[in-house]
Every structure is written in structure tokens, then in C-alpha cells.
Structure 1
Amino acid sequence: MSHLRSSGRWVRGLVALTATAASTLAVVGTAGAAEHPKAATTAGLPKPGDACGVADLGTRHPYIKSTEVSPTITHFKGWYVTQGSTGTQTISTSTQTTISVSVGLNGTVQGSFGVEALGTVGASLGLNVQLTYSSTSSVSNSVTWNFAQPGYYGLYKGTKKVTGTYSSLNCNRVQQGDGSWALKWIEGADTGSYTTYTDLEEGAVRCEDKVPANSIMRKAQDLLDCGSAIATAKHPAGPVTSAKAALAAREAGKATTAGKSVATGSLAPASQTALNCQPAVYRIDVPGKPLNWSAPLLANDGIRLRESNFFSAHLDNWRLCNVTESNGVIEASLWNWGNGGCATVPANIANQEQAYLTTATCVEDDLQRFYIYRDVPGSSKIGVQNKYTGSMMGHDRYADGELIRQYSSGRQDGTGTYTLTGV
């Protein structure tokens, strides 16, 4: 059998585990801890139903719902070696498939949530996966191999492609069986998909080699189209294109990136949407502090921490509009009394970690919808999450004029917990 080796040029994952996985669909988590033992063994991460605290209202953690591991050939070349052409050769392969690491809607990995999600995937599978953005398109397409004997070879580079879905765990109040309330980690409403892959390996394989089923090498051997006239015929030394390899290359060229993308233009619509707002008016305060969310006077500015006073002009006053509630979590638009706009993450920067929050003309758009996670009854403390991006709202430091921004995992120091104070 021919051998394989790791290319050694790839970023190592968070979990340096060496177990391998077959090409199977593995459901890691669905609803309860008893149904997803692999996810439950990931050290330090909360599970649904675990207790949380007030500071956690503004944070979130990934919850992996499913994983699929697929051996995938990224580069391939059929190569015929004659009696006089054995020895070491460097072969340029053709790209079969391009795999790029991504988590969620932005086609890459932004912020700590994505890194944590991929680390959780790697831990649950026992695989060393990529945790930051990378793409197989950046690897060299050449393979250097020592051909010891003549024959028809498949030169390849390949990896285990890992895909699946996730949701988030958020802290929220939950009513218990005795009627009392407690803060617990619950599965949030936001969901998404992810893609990553293990370190690339390269090698050479022949039709007569015995290789493991569902392996990367077996995928390369399949591309040789063993048994076909091309595979069994004698050829001059050099490249041979099998029917399967040619078809795979054509299909790879047709492939397009699937998934949700973020618009890059302006969010501003032609007309405003009518809102059904609750009569109550609120300030969104930093707990125990005088600063609170204040909408911008200028269109290009963001929502900032300001102190309420005579000159606030209601820019610090907010109403909850088009309110719905599911499993104890409020979803609402945040309408500002002072400028008549709705809180939103600007569309052109929505895929960025620490994008600032601002206001815009109110429309039916998920960028203007927010989930509100609440403390137990009697407390007005909340955490705020954007529906479209999944990120939690927070601020980098407590200071007058500080922008309210989105953080993919929230602010772990508690600065993403606010108070919804009636005025």
C-alpha cells in the first residue's frame, strides 16, 4: 500500500486529540444533556438547564446540534509511472474541492463565539480541526512523491471536512415546578451552520492498494476510476485524466458558496413601517450607574452611553414594539422616542465583531429585531441579543460617549447586562 503524510502547513486546533472519525452523521445535541453525552463532556462549557447568574444575561455560548464528517479530496492528479520514470517526482495537482472555515452568516470566523464553537466541535469528535479562518485554496497544489515501482497512481491532498449546525445557550429566567424562578442556561432562538476541516494529508494510491473504507485515501482511489479503460490501459509516463477525476473537477468549478450573506449596501428604506409599540417607556441603564443608552442625533453616529438630563431630548427613552414572546424570551424592536428610529446593527458592518449599534428608519428587518433575556421577576436586569447576527450588545468600557457594540459571545465581565428602567 502507498503511504500518506501530513502536509504540516496548517494551523493546529484547540484540541490536540488524535482519534479519527468515519464519514457518519453524528447528532451531538438536541434538547437535553442526556441526549448529547459528547457535548456534555466538554469541560467548562454550560449545558441546557445549568444555573447561570445575572452577569451572564449579556453572554452566550455555542451549542452544537449536529456534526457530519466527510473525507474529502481537495487536490488530485492521475499519474502514470513507467519502468524508466520511477523515483522522486514533484507533481502539480488540480483543485477538486475548496473548503473554507466559516461559522454563521459571515462566511468566515469572527469573534470568540466562532472559535469556541469550532473548539467544541473538535472536542466532541476527538478531531484536530481548524479554529480560525483558513481555506484549502491557499495550500500549494504540488505533491512530491517517491515512486518505487511503475503503475497508475492517484496523487492527492485531502482532509476530513466537518460540517453541522449550532444554536446558542443564553441565560434567562425559567419558572420551576414549584412556581419559583431561577436563572438557567436555555437554548436560544438563533441557529446557524459551520464548516471546518482537519489538517490536510497528501499521498499516492494505486488501484491495487487495499485501503480503509471511508478514508481520504479511498476517496482518492475512487477518483482513479479503477476498472475503466483509462485505468487499465498502458500510458506514457505522466498525467492521466480519468473520467471520474474530470467530472469531479467540472463539478468543483460549478460549486458556489451556500448560506446566508450580509448585505453591503445601506439599510435605509424608502418608507417607514408602522409599529405596534407598548405604552411603557424605558431607559436602558448600566446597573447602578447614571449612564444609559442614548440614540444619536446625527445619522452616521451610533448609540452611546450618556447621562440623562434636561438636554437628553428623549434620546434616552425607548419603547418595545411588535413584541412577541417564546419560551420566556421577548423579541422586540427598540423604538427611540427622541429620533423616531429603531435600534439596528448597520448592514454594511453587521458581519464584524464589535460593530456599533445605531438607529435607522423602522422597517421589517431582523437587524432591527432583538431578543431580551430577563432576570427573575422583581429584577429589571436584562441582556440584549441581535436576532440577525446572534451577537450580544455590550460596551467596551464604562465611559460617557462609549458606543454600544455587538460581541459574538457577549461581554464575559458582565458589561453586557443592562437594566430596563421604566420612566
Structure 2
Amino acid sequence: MMSRLRSSGRWARGLIALTATAASTLAAITAVAGPAAATGHPKPATAADQPKLGGACTVADLGVRHPYIKTTEVSPEITHFKGWYVTQGTTGYQSVTTSTQTTISVSVGLNGNVQGSFAVETLGTVGASLGLNVQVNYSSTSSESNTVTWNFSRPGYYGVYKGTKKVTGTYGSLNCNRIQQGDGGWALKWIEGPGSGSFTTYTTLEEGAVRCEDTVPANSIMAKAKGLLDCGSPAARAERPAGAVAPTAKQMQDRLAQHPAPARGTAAEQPKATGRSPQAAPNCQPAVYRIDVPGKPLNWSAPLLANDGIRLRESNFFSAHLDNWRLCNVTENNGVIEASLWNWGNGGCATIPANIANQEQAYLTTATCGEDDLQRFYIYRDVPGSSKIGLQNKYTGSMMGHDRYADGELIRQYASGRQDGTGTYTLTGI
């Protein structure tokens, strides 16, 4: 007879139900307000309404990115286990201290943990697509011994366990960019942008006890625990005193095989050397631009002080070319421009400071130009005839934007971009 399962309350807390409540969760992650709403930018209501590769997007999406899930794998994992023998007369409730079998940590992309809205949205999309309750914030199963209290109703050799379903896979980045249609016209579409990686998360932790005689569902957490019992071994068939049973050879072998490393991104999101190698002069295009807020007088202005950031300012006689930018070392791949942004006023290149590059809302500044992916930006463009763009840092994968429209407001990075359209700028030639 199959033993009864229960969920551990300690681990159930903090897990977000993404099945029946997928609509509200994903809508909250990608909620649209302000200017974007005025332009008809849709608010996703369900997982099915999430942006799709090749689907239409708007100018408000030029500064936004979303994840899309490429592959997923769900496998039962035992996090804690102990062989336990119950004799006639020792049935009933007993507390069993289990040993750690493996530790599972939630991670997304290059940092091996969960930082920023893009990572949370990635895991939310995974849960919604699979119909599972998965952890969407950084967490890990316990690496310490855990106690399971269980009612043993009959004598036998038991595996006492805690376990979960480990969910792993890969994701890509959806970005909005102009695409030429078959008739020669242009349209804004969600494309596969640069940056992909892998993820790991897990479902609600369960605990229970299973005997060799029990019939269990295939590919279940309980079946995984029963497999660890090594029921065909002499140790499993031996009579013994009640209590703990020494691990079998199979249990030890399986435990040693469990050495999970944090999920890492693919080459596009792997950490790269960020030490700057100064170069005499970047190869800049002759055109000079302002990076404006569309329809507004404020635009990107480089700092005069080394410890300051790029801010929104109004151009005037005293701007001293700090609001003038050139595109340097330009390449283009599948319609997406990659370039460094050189400032005419201070001679530096736009960059995310290396010491805060892993932080959501890290500010943009300038530094001595060099071979550094922190100084490289992908530029997503509106259809020809429009100068509206979105900008993405190559190293961090985050989109550039500002928190509010105000003089002196810093330009910052946002993992998923600004959902209200404030990550869309205008590249205005001067």
C-alpha cells in the first residue's frame, strides 16, 4: 500500500501558485501603465498572452525585453533521506533525522541566482507553461539534516524522505526590433535578441515514508525515494533491530553523484573580463546624436564629475557637448546594431560601473573607452522614418531607462526594461 504524502509547511511558504493564478501573477510582472497604456500597449492577462517570437510589438517595447522558454525538464529529486527499520511493536509515530541527499538552489542566468525582474519573469513563465507551483525568488533546499515525523502503521524497511520536483531548462530573450516584410515594408516584431541562459527551480517540498512493498506512481518523488531503498540488496532484506539503517552502497553512490552547480548562462550571458584596455581612439561614425526622450526636451547628458552618472538634462548653450554622442566600433547582426556610445563632451564611453553591474537599477556613467562589454550596447530601432530606439547593455543584458521624467534623473539599467515605455528614446541627429 502506498504511504501517505504531505507537504512541508516550511518549504511551502513563499512558493507562488502559477496555475490557476497565472493570469494575475504574469499581469503583475508585466503590468503596463502611463504612456505605454496610451499607445495601446497590451497588458498580458494569461501565459498565452505573453509576447511570442515573431509577434507584433510597439515603439513602447523598444526598451523592453521578455523571456521565452526554449527547453524544460522536470525530474523528481530526493533532498533528504534515511533508511529506517520498523519491527512489530515499534509502529506508530516516530521522528527520524534524515541526511542531506542533495541541495537544489534557484538560479537564472549568468549570476547563478535570481536578480531583477527578468529572472523572476523567466521563472514565472516556466511555472505557467508547465502548470507547476515553482519557486520564483532565490531560495534553496536545506543542506542541514532534517527531521521527519511519521506514523509507521506496519513493520518493514522504510525510506524516510523529503523531496521535490527539480525544474531545469534554457531560455532566450525576446526583444522588439524592426523587421523587413516580404513585400519590402517594415514592421516591429518580437525577435530573439542577444542573451540566453539556463535556469533551475523547484516545486513544493514533500515528505513521506515508503516501503519496498508499496506500489507507487512512476516518475514520482515517492518512486525516486523507493529507488534509493535498493530493495533488491541483501541489506534491504535483512532482519535488524528497529531504528536507523546504515546507507546501502547504492544510496551512498547516488548521494555522491549529487553535486549540483549553480545554473550558468550560455556564452552570451557568461561573465566576461571587464578590465578596461584603453584604446587611443574608437572607430566612430561621423554622425553626432542626442539621445532624447521622445517629444520632450530632456536628453542624455554625460557627467562632468567622474563619480556621477549620465542624467536627463535639457540642451542649452552651457551643455558643452556633454549631450552629444557618436556611435563607435559599430557592427550589425540580424538588424540589431551593436556599438559603443562615445561622448563628445568628456571623451568617455557610456558604461555600467563594474562594481555595481550585477545590481538592478545600476546607473549609467562614462569611463575611458576600451575593449569592454560593459561599454557595448545593442540598439533596437523603430521602422525606417522613425528615430525611436531601445538600448540594451551587452554584458548585463539589461535595458536602459529612467525611473521618472525629471531634470537630473539618472539613466539606469532594468533587467526587463521599463514597462511603461520610458525605456524608448530618440536618436536625433544634430
- TM-score for the superposition, normalised by structure 2: 0.87
Shift, 1:300, TM fit: 2.0
Kindly indicate whether the alpha-carbon contact (under 8 Å) linking 1:153 and 1:205 is maintained by their aligned counterparts in 2: yes
Greater Cα shift, 412-421 or 254-263:
254-263
1:404 pairs, out of 400, 408, 411, with 411
| Counterpart amino acid of residue 404 in structure 1 | I
SS at match of 1:158: strand
1:327 pairs, out of 322, 327, 334, with 334
Shift, 1:347, TM fit: 2.2
Kindly indicate whether the alpha-carbon contact (under 8 Å) linking 2:100 and 2:144 is maintained by their aligned counterparts in 1: no
Shift, 1:164, TM fit: 0.9
Alignment of 1:250 with 2:256, yes or no, is yes
| Counterpart amino acid of residue 106 in structure 1 | N
Check 1:267–1:309 CA distance in 2 against 1; reply closer, same or farther (3 A cut): farther
Kindly indicate whether the alpha-carbon contact (under 8 Å) linking 1:168 and 1:190 is maintained by their aligned counterparts in 2: yes
2:423 pairs, out of 413, 416, 419, with 416
Check 1:259–1:378 CA distance in 2 against 1; reply closer, same or farther (3 A cut): same
The aligned residue for residue 133 of structure 1 is 138
Shift, 1:236, TM fit: 2.2
Q: Distance in 2 between matches of 1:355 and 1:290?
A: 24
Q: Distance in 1 between matches of 2:20 and 2:134?
A: 10
Shift, 1:355, TM fit: 1.2
2:243 pairs, out of 224, 238, 241, with 238
Structural mapping, 1:45-84, within 5 Å: 45-84=50-89
List alignment gaps of at least 5 residues for structure 1. Answer: 19-40
Kindly indicate whether the alpha-carbon contact (under 8 Å) linking 2:363 and 2:411 is maintained by their aligned counterparts in 1: yes
Kindly indicate whether the alpha-carbon contact (under 8 Å) linking 1:17 and 1:128 is maintained by their aligned counterparts in 2: no
Check 1:174–1:258 CA distance in 2 against 1; reply closer, same or farther (3 A cut): closer
The aligned residue for residue 15 of structure 2 is 12
Q: Distance in 2 between matches of 1:348 and 1:231?
A: 55
Q: Distance in 2 between matches of 1:245 and 1:382?
A: 56
Structural mapping, 1:34-45, within 5 Å: 42-45=47-50
Structural mapping, 1:301-380, within 5 Å: 301-380=308-387
Kindly indicate whether the alpha-carbon contact (under 8 Å) linking 2:264 and 2:270 is maintained by their aligned counterparts in 1: no
| Counterpart amino acid of residue 121 in structure 1 | V
List alignment gaps of at least 5 residues for structure 2. Answer: 22-45
- Sequence identity percentage: 79
SS at match of 1:321: strand
The structure 1 segments of at least 4 consecutive aligned residues displaced by more than 6 Å after TM superposition are 261-264
Q: Distance in 1 between matches of 2:360 and 2:240?
A: 55
Q: Distance in 2 between matches of 1:173 and 1:17?
A: 35
Kindly indicate whether the alpha-carbon contact (under 8 Å) linking 1:70 and 1:160 is maintained by their aligned counterparts in 2: yes
How many matched pairs?
400
Kindly indicate whether the alpha-carbon contact (under 8 Å) linking 2:110 and 2:271 is maintained by their aligned counterparts in 1: no
Kindly indicate whether the alpha-carbon contact (under 8 Å) linking 2:290 and 2:300 is maintained by their aligned counterparts in 1: yes
1:291 pairs, out of 298, 318, 341, with 298
- TM-score for the superposition, normalised by structure 1: 0.88
Greater Cα shift, 345-354 or 322-331:
345-354
Q: Distance in 1 between matches of 2:292 and 2:255?
A: 57
For residues 140-161 of structure 1, the C-alpha deviation after alignment (integer angstroms, 9 at most, x for no partner) is 8211101111211111111111
